[in-house]
Structure 1
């Protein structure tokens, strides 16, 4: 009823949620293929006036990583591609350690052991300094992302201090209004500037200063692509 990118994305989130939840099933791909068999005819017929055929390359970088190796017939509405329903590989669940706990000495020690790569003074600063006029979700996820990256830049791997890092929205906030953990990434301030720069001379100067290698440039270009900017 509402053929727009947002509706397709809602459809995709439901499909990916089902895939994630049942990924532990041994024959998950076979099971989902039965569901796909019943739904693909509806997808084909009911949307024939609003959908277009799509290619794997039309998907976002994140979705390409997730569905690499699958070759279904892709469809899209307003440049948002429908994710393939059956495309989920079996995943073995990792056992959660019952020892990890905030309420015992042993449990807290295990938590702290995982954070030892981050200097205490930096971690304390990050956890106690909030960005005003931003959502609670953003501030909480900003801290979580910094810890998840062990206080290092996602592109260069460089250890970050108290004030030389920025939290970047992969899909710009003014487009997505998305403060979720998955849409955030922690970068060194110079790398963050490089992601958004448009002036070629400034780009070249920053590249030389950072001594960016091929792999790092690829990561930067992936972030620039999500920001609708040209590759460098």
Structure 2
């Protein structure tokens, strides 16, 4: 029976890879990687570096495929993501069927943690439901960008007894939830802060865990412009950006 391992590899620092993940990597015959284009080649390169560093007990091979394209600013976000997941499921299924032997183990290396704002598990579930290619699978957790952000800013995620709301930039376009104490925002492709309380404290970070890491914090009304300018410059310099931020009520 084929085996698939969905392995969280952390937010960018190879030392985020856990002992459990290293042990899982050393059972793998094939590492599946999606190519997202030249601008994000460094994300593929990091996966290669992690495997070269930690897989020491067996030979393995990389299988790469081009990630299906999707509209990043769709009029119907839900339908667009649904179609993208369906295309990915067909691609993953073909990779598993064509590149993984009947008794081999394959791995998808997931940025951050597979359970937090990542599509891999949903796509694996789609393939299982189709029942065309039989396999078993397990999940190895990883350090998320949320944890890396808090560590870089040397803060606790929550205040004593208070909740944390984790969401996306799309969900706060009309403001934060009522009575929000701490809000962590991910996947915000076009962050804007002019509709938010300027007295919020923001902790922002980009390229967390990598040598290119940038962190800024302060009263939102004082640092929002600097964050926007820094983000624009960094994106132009690298061709891509992944950032996360935490907003805390005064």
TM-score by length of 1: 0.26
TM-score by length of 2: 0.25
Bigger CA radius of gyration: 1
More helix by percentage: 1
* Greater RCO structure (CA 8 Å; 6+ sep): 2
